[in-house]
Structure 1
């Protein structure tokens, strides 16, 4: 594709509505790439049992789940086991032992009675046979009775001995059993101590007073009936373990925590911690990229909202979008420069970056609101970019973000784009002062020990940053103005210089037009300031709006000084052609001299599609109704901006007021109102966004300014006498 074809394609693309979206996509890509390091954590190439070559800090704050679980398991294991002491168990077990001996005594008694002495009331189950029961049957009977009455785990041999004991031995065994159980179980007995306690109870019975058989029987009985009375309290123990587990706080590896120091040995614990914070992971994690994408979309949406406002205020919106993209990329490069300076041995050198230059350029070339939004975006991006220097373990460097935000906003609030030449020295001093205050603010917030040497260095670099920002802005401003054909206060003031070749041309070739243009400029500037439009642009555009009259200056009444009017010798149609051509001749001259598009548009639009009434009615008188009104109208376009509308009104009103025989406040107000009504009825403001409220404010401003210009003068005595003499002649 040839260069001309590329140029045509590029020109058409800039006019397309999709162009702003392409710029926004480019901004999103630049932001995403700038902060990409946040989503891609550093990977460490270290191995077990090596020596650490540098301090390694945790880049994030994360819970070490394994360490937390280990501590909780240990706490649960060490939690105290709760026991409950049942004092009544001693009596209960004595009672159970008595039940055993009662059953045995009953069987013994029944077996020793004869059949004739048997009690008739005895139940069938307890009846004896005609002869005595055998020992085996007695044992079975005991088991039967014991199963119904109490626990029975005594061996048959023990029951057999108890059945065959003499009354004296039986009674002695019973007494020893009860007393031994009670005395033994009056103390706390755990399950773990049960066997030893039972053995001690048996050993406590003196063998000198009992036989071996009694001793063996007592051993079996005591083992049966001496039980634990200090038993586990499961509910309380469970609660103790739960409380112990809950008291263990999660083991947190803090952001910035030194995991291993330079020169220390890499242990398994160190490797584990590095894995927990993700420094040893080699697998892909999509969530950081999702989060970064969401952040970028949010920031781009903020800028997109301001782009919509910008497109309505700036006719050359595509160039404005491109210039914004270039300024944004430049600012990101400055932030990366600061990130690189942060890694240098000289502390705080990163504070010297001229970060405010980006917001200054946006304010002067584009829009103050857009510059404020951009300042916030620069601060957020800077907070993430400065983390990539490697000196900060935090994901977001809030200190640098605040420093960038304050520095950028300082330039935004001091620059007054639409009024006068920026006072760059004053702006630089103000930005430097805000930078120094930001540094001190951050030092005080950290509540650290004041090191006056470090604070002095930080303040010095912050001071230098303000002036470097101004120097960079002054150097780049002409480049952006020339490359993207954008207006700045400096450019407008340069164009308002009376020594400008075109203004000199008007002054020398059409002096009446020059004076008219100056008057229009005064009216338009003040009126624009009242409604919040660009007063400086209106003033400068008014200087040039009638440059087309220099092509045929004598055809315009303000330049006719000898009383000769060339229109008296030509037809109304020819006069119409000459008069109507001057806005477009002027636009052509301005284009040839490469003046800004905004000034060219105002020069071309300052008559809109109004009717050239004088020559229209003159032609109608000569030729009748065959003359069409459209032939005597300016071809337009109508005013597209507030500044163009105000210049159009100021131009027509100034010319009309000047032609009045005697200007009085009442006449001026009536004339101005008539011109306003005529323009409104003719639909001359239909294509611009000026409101009725703003038009009323413009009308009031113009009337006040005209009354100030054409105010009544004091009649001096000498002049009064001359006037009286004239009347008497």
Structure 2
């Protein structure tokens, strides 16, 4: 009961610690990323003063509409748009009709009142008044009494001539376009053309006044059309935009008021604190951190033994890569062409691909490219995001995640580095062509050279840093497994020297297990290396195991079955203790401890039953366990049992071997030895088939050579 309580307390403590550590890593990741990208939202106020010489080019960090310049351009368009005028072709005829009415009225009054040259002034005045009253008041003739008197006292012939001349002059004058600016000129011209041969001076003077009153403008200003035209001209003016990256102030120029105004417009001289960009960066960082956390959760979800160390590894690699991007962003300050492309961003995906998984490497590549676009955007002092650099970082990092296969060997410097370098150089070449900017052969070569160098630097760094993570976090990588499979490893030499039979048994089990694991998609390299070490516990008492009894002496014949059981059952746990003491990976320790599960030690159980006077419980002759927890452990258990059984067979044949394998498989399956691992029945059948095929290659029928046939014939003849 106390052990159960202690175990529960330990589990609860580990759960709490993992929870705290997880959230701690989450917060630390967010804070570090926020600090690395903080420069993107800090004010980029340049050192510039009015009427002073600019010491550097100042570029706009954003796209901004220059409303003042746009409005000035619209006003210029309005002013330059001419006014609209309307030409009334019928205006001349209308004025001729009106002047005809005037002369008709004069003739009618003159006839009614019998006015002639001898008429008294009183009657003439009355006639003038009557003419004024009978004339169309809508026309502001403004004819003087003198002019009307001249026309009234004129003879009927002279009046008719005057009417004809006036009508003709008005029609001719208004047959062309007459604007208000040209009106006085048209009136004067018409008056000057009055014929002096048929008109006396008084009549010419009177008709001149009539012409000035009746000749009017027929080409008049159209206010509605003018307003419409000016509005259309203003609306056709495009907004004047200060584009992102546009140089507002050139180095060496005198800073003018207009430059200061534009700098204020794009926010470069805005001294007011604005919290919105900081909130935006917080949301961006939260998104990056959330995706980062989700990828770790997805990676760790399906693992049998959860460990917080993988979060630490993921966090350290990710943050160090982000910091490396930040450091390399300062290389732009050197103004060396293309030097910033040397950033070895592919090192992070290479490490994550080797230590965690391919998907973790790909996700980190995408996230780091986003972070890099912000960090390099800071160094440009133009935009928050540097899109070309984001594309370069993305392809470079993805090449590191995809090209290197984490289940093989260490990243090969030349092979992997060449592929990453080729991807980097191709991406930079494409970006240079997209931007369509002029470049020299020197700058072109430097851009491609630094980007290619980045690939080799990434692989060199990955190879140099990888052992630190393997050792510091006890990570079982393919590289570590290959190193552990070296026969010169102290524990393997211990097995070879102290228990040679066990060593050769382990090598055979390793061959069977590796091939079977590869068939079902399990980690064949782990199974092979674990098989090498799975019986290391037998070195504690090697002579008690039949494969090491080379002299034919069996110590078990002199001791009780119960003691034999204790010795035999102890070797998985003795081996686990030896492996732990040597600092071996826990995966190998677990397979060594689990490779017999809770199976029955049949030989000594049967022997005990023969010697006992009462029934012997099976539980006393079973291994304490635990049962196998992984597919690799299940395969090693089957391979170990089959190899030991086949080794003990006399004259094994393929048929006998196959039957034995199926018998052992059925026994383990019915005994529930695979109940606690995630291997399926289909996979177990594939394992059995693979082991059978491998052993067929070992115990195949051998051709008898002539010397052997001759020896057999001699033995027959001797009989």
Task: Name the TM tier (shorter chain).
Answer: 0.7 to 0.9
Q: Judging changes above 3 Å, is the alpha-carbon distance between structure 1 residues 223 and 50 closer, same or farther for their aligned structure 2 residues?
A: same
How far does residue 484 in structure 1 lie from its aligned partner after superposition? Answer: 1.6
How far does residue 667 in structure 1 lie from its aligned partner after superposition? Answer: 3.9
Q: CA RMSD in A?
A: 4.0
Aligned to 1:129: none
SS at match of 2:708: helix
Whole-angstrom distance in 2 between the partners of 1:407 and 1:366: 19
Deviates more, 1:336-345 or 1:562-571: 562-571
1:248-272 alpha-carbon deviations (Å, 9 max, x no partner) = 3332323332222222111011112
How far does residue 349 in structure 1 lie from its aligned partner after superposition? Answer: 3.6
1:692-728 alpha-carbon deviations (Å, 9 max, x no partner) = 5544443443333222222222223443455567789
Whole-angstrom distance in 2 between the partners of 1:76 and 1:276: 25
Whole-angstrom distance in 1 between the partners of 2:203 and 2:619: 145
Q: 1:93 aligns with which of 92, 95, 103?
A: 95
1:491 has 2:480 as partner: yes
Q: Judging changes above 3 Å, is the alpha-carbon distance between structure 1 residues 100 and 422 closer, same or farther for their aligned structure 2 residues?
A: same
1:597 has 2:586 as partner: yes
Matches within 5 A, 1:117-136: none
1:657 has 2:646 as partner: yes
1:71 has 2:61 as partner: no
SS at match of 1:259: strand
1:476 has 2:468 as partner: no
Matches within 5 A, 1:283-432: 283-311=272-300, 312-313=302-303, 315=305, 317-344=307-334, 346-390=336-380, 393=382, 395-432=384-421
Whole-angstrom distance in 2 between the partners of 1:83 and 1:626: 127
Whole-angstrom distance in 2 between the partners of 1:213 and 1:18: 117
CA contact 1:319–1:484 (8 Å) conserved in 2: yes
Whole-angstrom distance in 2 between the partners of 1:273 and 1:443: 30
Matches within 5 A, 1:650-689: 650-689=639-678
Aligned to 1:702: 691
Q: Judging changes above 3 Å, is the alpha-carbon distance between structure 1 residues 185 and 594 closer, same or farther for their aligned structure 2 residues?
A: same
CA contact 1:57–1:259 (8 Å) conserved in 2: yes
How far does residue 225 in structure 1 lie from its aligned partner after superposition? Answer: 4.0
How far does residue 545 in structure 1 lie from its aligned partner after superposition? Answer: 1.9
How far does residue 322 in structure 1 lie from its aligned partner after superposition? Answer: 0.5
Q: 2:596 aligns with which of 607, 620, 630?
A: 607
1:326-374 alpha-carbon deviations (Å, 9 max, x no partner) = 1122222222222222212544443444433322222222222322332
1:547 has 2:536 as partner: yes
Whole-angstrom distance in 1 between the partners of 2:669 and 2:218: 107
Aligned to 1:510: 499
Deviates more, 1:366-375 or 1:651-660: 651-660
How far does residue 26 in structure 1 lie from its aligned partner after superposition? Answer: 3.4
1:142 has 2:137 as partner: no
Question: What's the TM-score once normalised by structure 2's chain length?
Answer: 0.83
Whole-angstrom distance in 1 between the partners of 2:12 and 2:368: 29
Aligned to 2:174: 185
Whole-angstrom distance in 2 between the partners of 1:183 and 1:191: 17
Aligned to 1:46: 48
CA contact 1:319–1:485 (8 Å) conserved in 2: no
How many corresponding residue pairs?
A: 698
Gaps of 5+ in 1: 1-7, 114-131
CA contact 2:143–2:213 (8 Å) conserved in 1: no
Deviates more, 1:200-209 or 1:227-236: 200-209
Whole-angstrom distance in 2 between the partners of 1:15 and 1:89: 101
CA contact 2:166–2:207 (8 Å) conserved in 1: no
Whole-angstrom distance in 2 between the partners of 1:243 and 1:691: 78
1:147-180 alpha-carbon deviations (Å, 9 max, x no partner) = 7xxx344459669759955563654554344223
Whole-angstrom distance in 2 between the partners of 1:21 and 1:570: 57
Q: Judging changes above 3 Å, is the alpha-carbon distance between structure 1 residues 172 and 615 closer, same or farther for their aligned structure 2 residues?
A: farther
CA contact 2:59–2:248 (8 Å) conserved in 1: yes
Aligned to 2:120: none
1:567-604 alpha-carbon deviations (Å, 9 max, x no partner) = 55555555444444333332222222111222222223
Q: Judging changes above 3 Å, is the alpha-carbon distance between structure 1 residues 574 and 363 closer, same or farther for their aligned structure 2 residues?
A: same
Whole-angstrom distance in 1 between the partners of 2:660 and 2:698: 15
1:258 has 2:247 as partner: yes
Q: 1:33 aligns with which of 8, 32, 35?
A: 35
How far does residue 42 in structure 1 lie from its aligned partner after superposition? Answer: 1.0
SS at match of 2:334: coil
1:83 has 2:85 as partner: yes
1:196-218 alpha-carbon deviations (Å, 9 max, x no partner) = 54455456557893565884686
Whole-angstrom distance in 2 between the partners of 1:637 and 1:70: 86
Q: Judging changes above 3 Å, is the alpha-carbon distance between structure 1 residues 565 and 435 closer, same or farther for their aligned structure 2 residues?
A: same
How far does residue 324 in structure 1 lie from its aligned partner after superposition? Answer: 1.6
Gaps of 5+ in 2: 1-9, 116-123
1:435-482 alpha-carbon deviations (Å, 9 max, x no partner) = 455555555555566644444445554555444434433332222122
Aligned to 1:530: 519
